[in-house]
Structures are given as C-alpha cells and as structure tokens.
C-alpha cells in the first residue's frame, strides 16, 4: 500500500484500522475463532458481524461501535489529518488507560502517532504488526520495554 492508502486505513488517532479485528477483511476470521460463549455475548448485545464490519475510521464516517467518535470531531475542528499535527497533542483523548488495555490497542495511539510523524506512515505500517504483537504478547522489561521471547 502507498502512503495515501495507508492514511485512509489509519485512524486520525493512530489506530491501524487495517489490523483491527472488526476491519472488513479481518472480521470473518475473528468471529470464526471466537469461543461460542463470547460470540453469544456479542450477539446478545446486538453486535452481529454485519453491524461490526468496518471499512476503517476514515472510510466508514468515523463512527465507533458506541457512536460518533469525539476524537474525529476534535481533529476536524483543529483541521488536522492526524492528532500529532495538533497544537494540543497529546491530549486527554489519547491518554493511556488500564481498563481494556489487555484487549484493545488504544494505549498504542501516542506511540503510533509519534512513529508516523518521525518515520512516515509507510515505515510505521511495515512495523505495526510487530508493535501490536509486542503489545499483546510481549513481556515488560524495565528499561527495555516490551520484548517477545524470540527477541531476547
């Protein structure tokens, strides 16, 4: 993918939509691997594959499972393509949060935005799979950050 395509598939806040479980090319595999009890929880909340299937934040009108994305509205107000371009970066909308951190990549936003700004979107996109892998499967080592067993 080129820079323009990657930008279209990367949220204003730095989330790599193309790697999300709900992204239209990933969701079928995500649901197929989901344990039946978790799938039942999704469906009980009215979250069917069709409702969750997403084209990426910029393409889908910048809505989330819970409705309109406040971060997008803020970015439009500030006339920025990515949050790192804003004079208020980083703001509270990007602040890391412990709740849900083991399931959602939201704590990667500032890291991703900084990497996009410093290295460019194509270089960041080439490594974002490894960034996610370290986030979800890595072990934290003080002074070294997250590490995978194969990197030690």
User: Beta strand pairing status for 67-68 and 63-64?
Assistant: antiparallel
Mean pLDDT across 3-12? 92
Considering the domain boundaries, does residue 128 fall inside one?
yes
- Work out the number of other CB atoms within 10 angstroms of the CB of residue 82: 19
Using the predicted structure, report yes or no on whether residue 14 has a pLDDT greater than 70: yes
Q: What is residue 55's predicted lDDT score, i.e. its pLDDT? A: 79
Considering the domain boundaries, does residue 45 fall inside one?
no
Beta bridge partners of 64: 67
For 13, 53, 54, 74, 115, the CA distances from 110, given in Å and listed in that order, are: 8, 25, 22, 16, 8
Mean pLDDT across 112-138? 95
Considering the domain boundaries, does residue 50 fall inside one?
no
Considering the domain boundaries, does residue 48 fall inside one?
no
Considering the domain boundaries, does residue 38 fall inside one?
no
Considering the domain boundaries, does residue 41 fall inside one?
no
Considering the domain boundaries, does residue 28 fall inside one?
no
Tokens found for residue 12? 């204003």
Q: Is 140 helix (H, G, I), strand (E, B) or coil?
A: strand
Using the predicted structure, report yes or no on whether residue 95 has a pLDDT greater than 70: yes
Q: Comparing 26-30, 85-89, 103-107, which segment has the lowest mean pLDDT?
A: 26-30
Considering the domain boundaries, does residue 26 fall inside one?
no
Q: Is 67 helix (H, G, I), strand (E, B) or coil?
A: strand
Domain span at 134: 3-20+56-151
What integer best gives the mean pLDDT of the chain? 88
Q: How many structural domains comprise the chain?
A: 1
Q: What is residue 66's predicted lDDT score, i.e. its pLDDT? A: 66
Q: What is residue 129's predicted lDDT score, i.e. its pLDDT? A: 93
For 53, 77, 85, 90, the CA distances from 22, given in Å and listed in that order, are: 5, 27, 27, 26
Q: Give pLDDT tens digits for 17-75.
A: 888 887 888 888 887 888 888 878 878 887 777 777 787 778 776 666 666 788 988 99
Residue linked to tokens 């999300």 = 20
């Amino acid at each position: 993918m080129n820079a323009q395509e990657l930008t279209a598939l990367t949220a204003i806040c730095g989330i790599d939509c193309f790697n999300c479980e709900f992204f239209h090319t990933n969701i079928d595999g995500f649901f197929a691997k989901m344990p039946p009890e978790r799938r039942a929880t999704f469906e009980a909340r009215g979250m069917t594959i069709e409702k969750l299937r997403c084209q990426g934040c910029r393409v889908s009108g910048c809505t989330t499972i819970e409705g309109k994305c406040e971060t997008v509205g803020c970015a439009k107000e500030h006339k920025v393509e990515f949050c790192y371009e804003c004079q208020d970066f980083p703001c509270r909308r990007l602040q890391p949060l412990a709740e849900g951190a083991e399931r959602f990549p939201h704590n990667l936003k500032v890291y991703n935005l900084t990497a996009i700004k410093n290295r460019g979107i194509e270089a960041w996109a080439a490594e974002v799979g490894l960034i996610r892998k370290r986030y979800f499967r890595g072990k934290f080592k003080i002074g070294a950050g997250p590490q995978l067993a194969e990197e030690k």
